[in-house]
Structure 1
Amino acid sequence: MMPDAPFHADLAEGPAGARAYWQTTEDNLRVRVAHYPGPDAAQGTVLLFPGRTEYVEKYGRVAGEFADLGYHTLTIDWRGQGLADRMHRDPRAGHVNLFQDYQFDVTAMLAAADELGLPRPFYLLGHSMGGCIGLRALIEGLPVDAAAFTGPMWGIRMAAALRPAAWALGWGSIRMGIGHVYAPSTGPASYVATVAFEKNLLTRDRDGWEYMQRQVNDIPELQLGGPSMRWLHEALNECLTLARLPAPKMPAIAFVGSDERIVDVPRIAARMASWPGGQIETIEGGRHEVLMEDALTRGRILTRIADVFASAEAQPETARSTA
């Protein structure tokens, strides 16, 4: 039986009865998973992979709309963020040893889904870094019937002239034993807690911004600062590696905002163009976190995702297997 973990239902604003649990990974780290219940006669369970800096309460509203559409939702605090074990003595540093280590967390999440007896089929929704972790998991056989992504981190947006320097700094910092230091221009401050709404790159919706701010201000332990040099190096390497691998054979859709300034949109377009039956939609005026835009926009995106999930039911089993 999984032990209960803290969960802030009032801040999540999700469906009634949501609970969080501790899970221990194969490499002996503690991560937090949260189950947002759906209807009794559910159409399946969404495995929601959050982005960097995120945590389970952030997707309460999304889980509520998935419940209305007929799905349970299971989400996670990745290692190094939320209330999961942090990876460095500086708890604000967004750090990981190897990007592949996130797959230990995926395995723990699947074990939690089984222990809770969550209804199948499973579906994937990955946001930003969660889209990167999710694509790797799909390639390695994640048992889902369809996938959706919002602002997936399949490349990090930066000026072309800076990319060689980013690679060199990341590589050098690891070999010098300083891979834990913050990447240039970042530090321990939480972006959501400190940036004014008018200057943020995440959402144009003030209510969505204030929703996120309430969470990290009321529970400061949820705050995370900038990425470490090692995280940056690992992320760049994983994005490059994944770009060279074929897309899984299953229904999939990706959404990007027309005002996306954090991840590499051409990489997303190239991936979806090569994905058998893959679709990509642009959210006009949307920023990086299209599910934190206004309720109308969020509802339209989730309805489209549910349509793609439902389309998987009509496909033969062989068409849903990974490449």
Structure 2
Amino acid sequence: MIRPLAETVSNPIPPGTRVDSLILTDGNELRFAITPASTHPARGTVIILHGRNECIEKYFETICDIAARGFTVATFDWRGQGASSRLLRNPAKDFVKSFDDYAADLEQLFEAVLLPDCRAPYYILAHSAGALTALLAAPALSNRIRRMVLLAPLLDITGTRARKMAARFAANTLRSTGLGKTYMLGGPFAIKPFAANEVTSDAPRYSRNCEILQQAPELAIGGPTASWIVAAAAAIKKVSRPDFIETIRIPMLIIAAGMDSVVSTPAIERYALQLRNATLLTVDGAKHEILQEKNFYREQFFAAFDAFIPGTGGEALEMELSD
């Protein structure tokens, strides 16, 4: 049964949005939503790929912003989070065996929903772990996706080298001894006070997102399991190989957050330099979730988006990439 979209007074469902589900080949179910463009002419479809512990509802504001630019917007809850199938008996645990499963789910959604129901050309807007999955899927999507915009992609976490090595060792040990379903970071979901949050400096948007999960707590998940950490590390290692980077042909705009305390901005900047067809923008002062940030930071994102995505108001970045 499809879980309806949850809305609050401060977070209404975008006009015309329809929600449905896709049964995957392994029997799991993805909840997806499609919102029509709210202006003309129609310019194609933007596919939003969420980060870890996000859901469709969190992106209502951004969906409206993009629909107002003439795009259909398609998005979905990844397996294991939101209102898609949970993978463990304890549904609060964030678990996946491999990020290849996420990439395969995106491919199935393309075949079954996006190609028949959504107007081309197709663009991807992806955040954090969703951006890592976009990179992983990029070689297979080169004939389908015209451009990608990656926000704060998960290419490394912040912290000292010793801390990161210890975390990887612990996660690998737990998974190899059959304890991959153990919480690795954090525990059951709990709403943090605004002062303790690491993702945004915008109090009203943070409060809005908390209200969503207070009304529909079943959309939230807790911390990542050891298996999820191992899978993420394996995906980062794969997309960072020089031979893999050589296979990425899709033009990309990569946007880092200058005050990110979740993922490593220097790692993002180093990665962008290795891509043959990428432009990098660092939004100084912004925290990890740029689309949930203050208007000052969101406006910088949309200025870059509009310059990069054809038909949204500027072709300067497009010309730069083609030089």
TM-score of the pair, normalised by structure 1: 0.90
Partner residue of 2:148? 147
Aligned partner of residue 146 in structure 2, secondary structure: coil
Mapped pair 1:207 → 2:204: yes
Mapped pair 1:51 → 2:51: yes
Partner residue of 2:215? 218
Relative to 1, partners in 2 of residues 1:255 and 1:60: Cα closer, same or farther, differing over 3 Å? same
Mapped pair 1:136 → 2:104: no
Q: What's the CA shift string for 1:217-242, capped at 9, x where partnerless?
A: 11011111000001001111110111
Q: What's the CA shift string for 1:189-215, capped at 9, x where partnerless?
A: 23xx2x111121100001110111011
Aligned partner of residue 22 in structure 2, secondary structure: strand
Partner residue of 1:22? 21
Aligned partner of residue 263 in structure 2, secondary structure: coil
Are 2:94 and 2:223, in contact at CA under 8 Å, matched by a contact in 1?
yes
State the 1:158 CA deviation.
3.0
Q: Choose 258-267 or 217-226, whichever is displaced more.
A: 258-267
Give unmatched runs, 5+ long, in structure 2: none
Are 1:146 and 1:312, in contact at CA under 8 Å, matched by a contact in 2?
no
Partner residue of 2:178? 177
State the 1:304 CA deviation.
1.6
Partner residue of 2:238? 241
Partner residue of 2:275? 275
CA RMSD of aligned residues (A): 2.1
Are 1:132 and 1:152, in contact at CA under 8 Å, matched by a contact in 2?
yes
State the 1:141 CA deviation.
2.4
State the 1:290 CA deviation.
0.6
TM-score of the pair, normalised by structure 2: 0.90
* In structure 2, C-alpha distance between the alignment counterparts of 1:299 and 1:13, rounded to whole Å: 21
* In structure 1, C-alpha distance between the alignment counterparts of 2:134 and 2:305, rounded to whole Å: 16
* In structure 2, C-alpha distance between the alignment counterparts of 1:18 and 1:9, rounded to whole Å: 12
Are 1:131 and 1:154, in contact at CA under 8 Å, matched by a contact in 2?
no
Match of 2:225 among 217, 223, 228: 228
After superposition, where does 1:304-315 map in structure 2 within 5 Å?
304-310=304-310, 311=315
State the 1:5 CA deviation.
4.5
Are 2:7 and 2:212, in contact at CA under 8 Å, matched by a contact in 1?
no
Q: What's the CA shift string for 1:132-152, capped at 9, x where partnerless?
A: 011111122251101101111
After superposition, where does 1:188-207 map in structure 2 within 5 Å?
188-190=188-190, 193=191, 195-207=192-204
* In structure 2, C-alpha distance between the alignment counterparts of 1:179 and 1:312, rounded to whole Å: 47
State the 1:157 CA deviation.
2.2
Give unmatched runs, 5+ long, in structure 1: none
* Off by >6 Å, runs of 4+ in structure 1: 312-315
* In structure 1, C-alpha distance between the alignment counterparts of 2:2 and 2:40, rounded to whole Å: 22
Relative to 1, partners in 2 of residues 1:161 and 1:28: Cα closer, same or farther, differing over 3 Å? same
State the 1:107 CA deviation.
1.9
Are 1:258 and 1:285, in contact at CA under 8 Å, matched by a contact in 2?
yes
State the 1:258 CA deviation.
1.4
Q: What's the CA shift string for 1:19-58, capped at 9, x where partnerless?
A: 2111111222101111122135311111110000001111
Are 1:14 and 1:64, in contact at CA under 8 Å, matched by a contact in 2?
no
Are 1:9 and 1:18, in contact at CA under 8 Å, matched by a contact in 2?
no
Are 1:253 and 1:278, in contact at CA under 8 Å, matched by a contact in 2?
yes
Q: What's the CA shift string for 1:72-131, capped at 9, x where partnerless?
A: 11111000000111111111111011221112220232122134x211100011100000
* In structure 1, C-alpha distance between the alignment counterparts of 2:316 and 2:145, rounded to whole Å: 10
